Chain A
Amino acid sequence: MIIEPCTDVVCSIWSILNQGPMTLTIFLHTLIVLPMVWIYFDEKKRLERGDIPDE
């Protein structure tokens, strides 16, 4: 089974996400990195449009 039932003493969202040695880490990094990709393309679009004022 891909998603295994929680084996921790006190179950929480973190222990459910912690399916293996890397799963929690991968989940949290994805959560942080994916919006950064969006930020990158958003900034690129703005730069190309030239609507960024000089700092």
Chain B
Amino acid sequence: MDKKPSVWTSNRFWRRSATWVTGVSAVLLILLTFDTMAQMKMGTEEDIKNKIDRRIPSPVVINYKIDYQLNRRRGHEVPIIGGMDANGKSKYEEKEKFFGRDDWSEEEARALIHKGKLTIQAKNCMDCHTLLGNGAYYAPDLTKAWLDPTWDTLAPAYNGKEYAIKEFLKNPPAMAMHERKMPNLGITDEEAKAVVAYLKFMSAIDTNGFPRNFGKIKGAVDARK
């Protein structure tokens, strides 16, 4: 009878393999964590002045025109801040008034966006919506809500996209656009303004093309029936 020992039944082989795989995976995860931290680092006003692309730009992007354009090299849409140059990159030049101003300082913009974040948390937007993909799947993702073409059609009647979104947030049922109607959450004028700033800032984040479109969610659910 062949007494040749099999490696596959050897405990030592499996133990060494498992140690190796676990060790490499642990090191890899640590390295990836540092990489992610570098990717997530918020840019500064200086970066915008020096035209350095950051995945998360400085809060002062609310002073700039933000666009969402297909980048052929990367194969998906990317946010274009302040106009696009011949290479399909952000120019950081074209400004756009945000509530009548295009000179929001970094501190002012950051404070406004922070208030918007707190409002979004206080009003539990994620009960229905997703932000950067996190949240509930009842209502549309808000990551690129600022860039939704619907607002461009409403902008002239409200003297600007930001005013249209603000009015919508203050009383959503009055401006219902989806089959699933957003309820009135009692958002004040100041809170709505801050939420719009947050949404505009978020639309400038490079999310590798997420989400892909601005489709309408169909199928209203009436809980009272």
Contacts and interface: CB of A to CB of B under 8 A. Distances in A.
B149 to A, nearest CB: 24
Nearest to A44: B7
B10 A52 contact: yes
A10 B28 contact: no
Contacts of B35: 12-14
A10 B20 contact: no
Contacts of B28: 28
B17 A36 contact: yes
A9 interface: yes
A47 B206 contact: no
Interface residues of B, number: 25
Interface string A35-49: 110011001101110
A32 interface: yes
B38 A10 contact: yes
Interface of A: 7-10, 12-14, 28, 31-32, 35-36, 39-40, 43-44, 46-48, 52, 55
Given A32-B21, A44-B7, 9 more contacts: A9-B55, A14-B35, A36-B20, A43-B7, A43-B13, A43-B16, A47-B7, A52-B12, A55-B12
29 contacts: A7-B73, A8-B74, A9-B39, A9-B54, A10-B38, A10-B54, A10-B55, A12-B35, A13-B35, A14-B32, A28-B28, A32-B20, A32-B21, A36-B17, A36-B20, A39-B20, A40-B7, A40-B13, A43-B7, A43-B10, A43-B12, A44-B7, A46-B12, A47-B5, A47-B6, A47-B7, A48-B5, A52-B12, A55-B11
